[in-house]
Amino acid sequence: MLRYGWGTIPAALSATYAIAVERPANGTATADFPAPAGSGGRWIEVSAPIDTIPLFVRAGSIVPMGSAVTGASKDQVIESVRVYPGADAQFTLFSDDGISYKYEHGAGSVTTLTWDERSQKLTYSGAPLSHSRPILQVMGH
């Protein structure tokens, strides 16, 4: 459900937005934007400016963040890896050539990222994430 609130329009069109979101009932969720504190399992209204996507992320999530690309045939470099602590996590990233159906016959590479909550360490196995080492961002710290 989106709610739109139109402000004054001096010379150009402007808008502010709010969106109703439901916090997860089980587990802990971290807001990846300014949000009111509260328990799960209820609806809250959060600010959603045009340049921000309100996002609640379950504790124990791994989110690779890629570079901007101009087309499917361009390689996307993983620039950073966001970890939302609070539980052990695992994420499997599959990469292919981006232009063919060779993945249907096994072509491509797999990288598995694993977050260990107790040691607060991220490890990976399989194919390297990119040619340069991505930045690790532990969110909420």
Same domain flag for 85 and 112: yes
Provide mean pLDDT across the span 29-39.
58
Same domain flag for 82 and 102: yes
Same domain flag for 91 and 116: yes
Whether residue 36 has pLDDT greater than 90: no
- Percent of the chain clearing pLDDT 70 (strictly above): 65
Same domain flag for 87 and 132: yes
pLDDT at 122: 94
pLDDT at 3: 39
135 — phi, psi (to 5°)? -80, 130
- Judge whether 108 and 92 are in contact, CB under 8 Å: no
**What mean pLDDT, rounded, does the chain reach?**
76
pLDDT at 33: 56
Q: Which domain holds residue 46?
A: 2-57
15 compared with 92, residue with greater pLDDT:
92
- Judge whether 90 and 115 are in contact, CB under 8 Å: yes
102 — phi, psi (to 5°)? -65, -25
